[in-house]
């Protein structure tokens, strides 16, 4: 299992951090975990051919997590090397099918109409499904209505939990239990947190409760200082803590 970090920011643009977007490779499978504006343009810098993406997982429908969905589909359809032929799995929270239909109506017929490849949509809440090379679990979390977190478990036994956007909640703690790696948002430093976003100490507490080995912090607002975030997370988690930066790669 390999993880690439395309963007570690939020909805606020900065020079240092792009909108949230992550690529997870499990064998031949390439999973896009969210994808805000600019994600697809980060992929060549990461050495990833966007055409290899065959799963797109969305934790919620905020623009900073979904904005590159349409550009990616448009590229799949119009690549001069030939349009995509392989099936594409798109997975999102309850309400995603309505969101998808709205995009179809908005961009039909010239841009998204009559895609030359099969799209399978799957709405999830507290869900579980087996795919080639991995198992996928999801759980509702505390952010906005219909937000979910994902747990991906490879056939080799490696498990990663991605929080999307979430405040501290028992659902996320339970989903993370026993996972080796947690990719958790940490939007604000301690003292500036909200009910719908994690602070570093809360992220660390989840990782400690889960018994995880590695905690990767991401989704930072501009006021976040990486050194301070790491120190705060270390007050509640005794394992490895990484403050993610755009362009990082991990072999898990």
pLDDT of residue 208 exceeding 90, the answer is yes
pLDDT of 142 reads 93
d(CA 229, CA 252): 22
User: Across-strand partners of 93?
Assistant: 124
> pLDDT tens digits for 213-231?
999 999 999 999 999 999 9
- The tokens for 99 are 């969101």
Integer angstrom CA distances of residue 67 from 44, 62, 73, 109: 18, 8, 11, 19
pLDDT band, residue 18 (cuts 50/70/90) = very high
- Tell me the backbone φ, ψ of residue 26, rounded to 5 degrees: -130, 105
Distance from the Cα of residue 40 to its chain's centroid = 14
pLDDT of residue 112 exceeding 90, the answer is no
Give the chain's mean pLDDT: 96
- Tell me the backbone φ, ψ of residue 59, rounded to 5 degrees: -80, -30
Residues 154 and 186: beta-carbon distance below 8 Å: no
Per CATH, the homologous superfamily of domain 2-251 is Ribonuclease Z/Hydroxyacylglutathione hydrolase-like (3.60.15.10)
Q: What does the DSSP assignment read for 81-130? A: T----S-EEEEEETTHHHHHHHHHHHHTTTTSTT-SS-EEEEEESSEEEE
Q: Are strands 148-154 and 134-140 parallel, antiparallel or unpaired?
A: antiparallel
> pLDDT tens digits for 40-62?
999 999 999 999 999 999 999 99
Model's pTM, two decimal places?
0.97
- The tokens for 243 are 């403050």
């Amino acid at each position: 299992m390999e993880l690439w970090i395309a963007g570690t920011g939020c909805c606020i643009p900065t020079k240092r951090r792009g909108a949230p977007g992550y690529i997870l490779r499990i064998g031949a499978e390439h999973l896009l975990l969210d994808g805000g504006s600019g994600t697809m343009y980060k992929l060549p810098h990461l050495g990833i051919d966007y055409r290899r993406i065959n799963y797109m997982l969305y934790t919620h429908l905020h623009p900073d997590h979904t904005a590159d969905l349409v550009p990616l589909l448009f590229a799949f359809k119009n690549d001069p090397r030939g349009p995509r032929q392989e099936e594409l799995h798109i997975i999102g929270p309850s309400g995603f099918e309505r969101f998808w239909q709205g995009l179809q109506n908005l961009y039909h017929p010239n841009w998204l109409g009559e895609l030359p490849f099969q799209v399978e949509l799957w709405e999830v809440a507290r869900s579980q499904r087996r795919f080639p090379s991995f198992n996928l679990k999801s759980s509702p979390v505390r952010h906005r209505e219909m937000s979910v977190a994902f747990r991906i478990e490879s056939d080799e036994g490696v498990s990663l939990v991605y929080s999307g956007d979430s405040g501290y909640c028992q659902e996320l703690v339970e989903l993370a239990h026993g996972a080796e790696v947690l990719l958790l948002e940490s939007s604000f430093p301690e003292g500036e947190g909200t009910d719908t976003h994690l602070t570093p100490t809360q992220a660390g507490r989840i990782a400690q409760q889960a018994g995880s080995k590695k905690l990767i912090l991401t989704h930072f607002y501009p006021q976040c200082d990486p050194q301070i975030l790491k120190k705060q997370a270390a007050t509640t988690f005794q394992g490895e803590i990484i403050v993610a930066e755009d362009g990082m790669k991990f072999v898990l």
